[in-house]
A and B are shown apart, each in its own frame.
Chain A
């Protein structure tokens, strides 16, 4: 099996967290990035070649994170990955050239019978081998992964499926068009396993007809036109598309059951290794129900929060219900509640940052907070 990892969708409701990084490299669960989850699922399924598509100008954090691919074992003799820019495909299309050729070349060279497509928006740990078994059993062109979720876990651009009792897809809706009043809906997770030969011929035909350059969109449109099977995913899922869903996903990590379901399933989650020192808790630290990565110094009160690598939380501070990304410095007497502090944020002594559960305050990367927010 070979894999295509699409990372070109932009979600403005995640700003400023995605100001200068794609959703794929958004930090999550203290020491991971969103892309670690699909990438780990891919390598855990013994897929040894990955084709990744990113937007122009958004690749710095990607290269910084993935590097040579060592942590995902993508730097071996038999294991490889490729990074391509979405805009290059667009340019070819604008020049009326065959814009899918590079991808087709990759698919052909991989000599894989099957191809899996994933994106970084669905925070989950899926066993692609199990999906593959279903795909092989039904032997259809395409197998679509979905999960039954509540309304708040669906965003306007998502696809929702109507599924018959025999597992066949009867209809595909755009979430914003669907007037569903049920408690649960079948969220299309945009994880597809397809026959590679079929995909190649569809791409060839598609580029003749000016089909969409966005492969995720391309595949979605095919769900209904070919024989598709479905796979219902039952593990942990967070659909991350705005600040609230990101906040909820992070807070889920403080729930042991959800955390274990994501982190301690049969599959390991790989991330960039950092050589950090242990986290130190001083005599004045008071920590409850919180999660920490290494490299931090904790001298204040931390509750219901996630603290990433290399943070310093000074004495007499309060960090409650918040997400602290790497290298934050929270100085003496500061008080933070319902906030998301992006990387390298400094909070001056005595400053109060207060959001609400419904509307957490987001402090952008590198900000130096000198006044109350």
Chain B
């Protein structure tokens, strides 16, 4: 991994990641992912017969359902669903299964910061586990800029996020490290945005390495 000289390697380290595949028996693929104390479980059903109103005759339609810990889905949860849908649609080879549906169900287990990044990563791992043909894998990284010091902190938790001036979530593809999706909140300059994007891009290699090690582990078991 390319590291710039002025940035020590320790600054790219994310919260510890743990994952269990095939946790659920009913879906075609499932993944339970923990990034620090943030935990989600994702299940994939597909390719299945699509509902008539949602069917696309020349490609597969991607449906996402996101459930929070408690209560019904809110507007923010609909936004999370949209981000997961658009990101996964970019990765999946949708023309491979025309007139079918790929259903992604995500259940939030615990939110300790970086929930959107965790859900995207969990959905990607579940897609890998389900054997859905993909153009590339996706790594989502969450980061923030501190109010006073204006330092960039990668993968912050809830306590650190209280002192955030701006929060960013970037999703990168594994082929060219291009930005697939970007979600931002707060105030920031263009320079800060580009700096955080570059930092997240370099940190995404940790997530891709995690995917590879996980696949290797399961391949050896099989």
Partners in one complex: no
Give chain B's interface residues, CB within 8 Å of chain A.
none
